Structure 1
């Protein structure tokens, strides 16, 4: 039996999707969420994710109607498992009697058991073995970019492909926050390059002195300023980069939310960053970027548009000239 019309054969008045991951992983799921919404325009779609992703669900309210925080699981490293909350969480999920549950959290080794415990009438997702009962599990692709893997799941179930492009909508609240912060005061659109030297894990970060050296070389161009971005936890890192620079940058780390930071980036000429969530924000904004990889699978996590986004493998911090050359080439693009 083919899976191509699986969604059409099932009631999907109420749908729950499980993907409890960080920012970049969630942004990579947007093409699949867009396809699922197109297939189920009148369904109520709930997202179960990490607590932070409440803001993701609100930003992508065109595709997600409700957010439900996941208490965690011992097999998932993204958050400490709050075991005392799990019993009530699963009981409340079963009480909802969802028509359909979709597992979009990896290959299903552990996540399929989590989604089965939601008690939905039907379930679909990735899995190594055929589903049991009213389940449709398809093999997790061994290769390919993450947005395409997830989109393959959605289209395999019968959703229409609505394009693989990422999105990052900028809201009026983002713009107001950016303006109120004063960070962008005096920064004309197109007059600056954003440097994002941080990442969730320190061992994924390109050396601060390399970011500083590249920023100084780019700042030689007339009227091209450097803006350092980062989370509150990355304030010491951006300060270190600033100290190493010959030309004083604008240090915007810390005070801005993800949305306001994206609004700041949306006016930049270019972003240079590690392989981290902001690279997928740049893809959603269609902001030119140079992305430096050191740990992750570059074929899986590189942005799809290789003309707009240049990805380099440099685990030992040896490719500063290549980063600079790619940045200069992107700045020359019309």
Structure 2
């Protein structure tokens, strides 16, 4: 991209909360590399609501109309008939594709007409001006940093601290009164295979309560039934904030907690982004892509179950087309191998360290 003065950068990352947060180290690296450029995220409606006016590596969000084949794009996207006008409306000096292997996303980024394009590329995807080979198993944070290194951007793999407003922190204080320590439990995940069993979360809540810790259930409206089941199975009362917060207030609730225990889903990543210690519950394959790489504040616990608990099919072959088997249609939990005692031990250790390890919070 020699000779191109970068004043306007577009980044394609149009999916869910955890997906966005795993891209924030790369976004921060782009911001540091091009400090005078405007960084625009081509994202979803929730990005616009959550990021507009919030200090961070993204200056502006443009809500992307529906794109055929763009995996993970939220279903509330504007109608695809608006896409041609969207692509023509603005021009960029640099366009960055951080959304999958490029089958649908690389033609989309190329159609922006940017001076230089970079991104990921699977074997069957069209090229960009410069790209990184896409392979299914790679830590997502490192994957995206590898892309932005193509234009000389680099930085730490830790999530940059998310800025929270005073109003968001006030809302969290009203929802979680007193000194705690509070430990948040998130029982949801979009894929049922990534959910630790409800009875394990209930047993964990009882263990925490018996130790003088205050467990609190969190999540979005779609997690309400799971949280209710945890509360019903627990022997002791559990505070339930599931579905009672917007995303900013949820972030502030997680910041107020000493530890967050959760499946591989958005709230676990959000906890990392506000500086809270985590115990993440992962299927082994998901841990490769999404688990925190450090252990001072983050303790991923892995289940090594690779055969379906219902039918025995090998479910470890994703990303390896020459290996026999392609999984199955069953969706039981694959996290049953993780016992409650392991989670309790990690939470206890993190609670003992919490006062010395929490970073200075960032405000808006």
TM-score range, shorter chain: 0.7 to 0.9
- Matched-pair contact (CA < 8 Å) for 1:127–1:139: yes
Partner of residue 47, structure 2: 53
Partner of residue 175, structure 2: 183
Write the deviation string for residues 258-313 of structure 1: whole angstroms up to 9, x where unpaired: 21112112121211110111121122223121111137521111012223211122
- Matched-pair contact (CA < 8 Å) for 2:132–2:146: no
- Matched-pair contact (CA < 8 Å) for 2:50–2:248: no
TM superposition shift of 1:30: 0.7
Partner of residue 220, structure 1: 210
TM-score (normalised: structure 2): 0.80
Corresponding position: 1:328 with 2:348: yes
Root mean square deviation, CA, Å: 2.5
Partner of residue 306, structure 1: 295
Gaps of 5+ in 2: 304-333, 357-364
Corresponding position: 1:286 with 2:275: yes
TM-score (normalised: structure 1): 0.87
- Matched-pair contact (CA < 8 Å) for 2:44–2:77: no
Partner of residue 3, structure 1: none
1:207 to 189, 197, 222: 197
Distance 1:249 1:111, change over 3 A: same
Residue aligned with 2:299, SS: strand
Corresponding position: 1:138 with 2:127: no
Corresponding position: 1:147 with 2:136: no
Count, aligned residues: 321
| Runs of 4+ more than 6 Å apart | 80-84, 129-132
Distance 1:81 1:73, change over 3 A: farther
Write the deviation string for residues 222-280 of structure 1: whole angstroms up to 9, x where unpaired: 3x211111112222221211111111111111111121112112121211110111121
Counterparts of residues 1-334 of structure 1 (less than 5 Å): 6=1, 9-58=3-52, 61-79=55-73, 85-128=79-122, 135-140=129-134, 143-159=137-153, 161-166=154-159, 167-179=161-173, 182-185=174-177, 187-188=178-179, 190-222=180-212, 224-294=213-283, 296-314=285-303, 315-318=334-337, 319-333=339-353
CA distance in 1, matches of 2:296, 2:50: 27
Gaps of 5+ in 1: 1-5
Write the deviation string for residues 139-188 of structure 1: whole angstroms up to 9, x where unpaired: 236654211111121123212x2322103222223124335xx4223x31
- Matched-pair contact (CA < 8 Å) for 2:64–2:77: no
- Matched-pair contact (CA < 8 Å) for 1:15–1:45: yes
TM superposition shift of 1:56: 4.3
CA distance in 1, matches of 2:283, 2:105: 27
- Matched-pair contact (CA < 8 Å) for 2:224–2:242: yes
CA distance in 2, matches of 1:216, 1:324: 11
